[in-house]
Amino acid sequence: MTRLRFPALSALVLGASLSFQSFGAHAQNAAAVTAPIQALNQALDAIQQPNSGSFAVRTSKLAPVVDQSYDLESVLRSSVGASRYAQLSADDKQKLMAAFREYTVARYLSSFKPGSGAKFILSPEISPYSIASEQKVTTHIGSDENPQGTEIDYVMRQENGSWKIVDVLLEGHISQVVVQRSDFGPTLAASDVNGLITVLNKKVKTFSED
């Protein structure tokens, strides 16, 4: 019987150790990337419960989670267009961000009304997106009858050590940022930033009255 010599045994042990370290690092990274989405899904589940409160109460519950889960400035910049956004004054950016934040939260509240009964299935796997610094995470939003439901892919980017949502893909390819750019563009072309703020505020009011 051939005995395994010590150098070979050391190499096998070292290789196994490196493999486990690599797996552990990947698992930790995946958990960090998916954590904001997990928090968002939990918050969406909470606001759709039958006794989750009025629109204002539900807003107060969801808004802080949206702030933590999203890089809202990045989403807004991409939705407006980087060059156009850069031309806005600091005051206009601040006012537009406030309106866009309310709009983002209100849209979620409108989609997940009390009693909606949506089920969230978060994939623990992450995969590279368009550039190396971005990762994609899949959530299925369904029901008891159809758990798989609709596929939502979140595009994640790390900023200052924290992973944030920078885009949402419907069915794997319909970019929310691109859709919003198409929606916002005509308004910005026809009026100044205050026109877009007015439109966003009207949408929030409509969502609150649904």
Strands (E), 129-187: 134-142, 150-159, 162-170, 174-175
By the 8 A CB rule, do 60 and 43 touch? no
190: three-class secondary structure by DSSP = helix
pLDDT below 70 — which residues of the chain? 1-28, 132
CATH number assigned to the domain covering 10-209: 3.10.450.710
**Which tens digits make up the pLDDT trace of 66-105?**
999 999 999 999 999 999 999 999 999 999 999 999 999 9
Rounded to a whole number, what is the distance in angstroms from the first to the last CA of the chain?
78
Tokens of 42: 């939990």
- The phi and psi torsions of 157 (rounded to 5 degrees) equal -135, 140
**Domain map (residue ranges) of the chain:** 10-209
User: pTM (2 decimals)?
Assistant: 0.85
Q: One-letter amino acid identity for 106?
A: A
Residue 192's CB is within 10 A of a number of other CB atoms, namely 11
Among 143, 139, 142, which Cα is nearest to 169's?
139
- The pLDDT, as a whole number, for residue 58 is 97
Residue 137's CB is within 10 A of a number of other CB atoms, namely 24
- The pLDDT, as a whole number, for residue 105 is 98
Rounded Cα gap, residues 65 and 48, in angstroms: 15
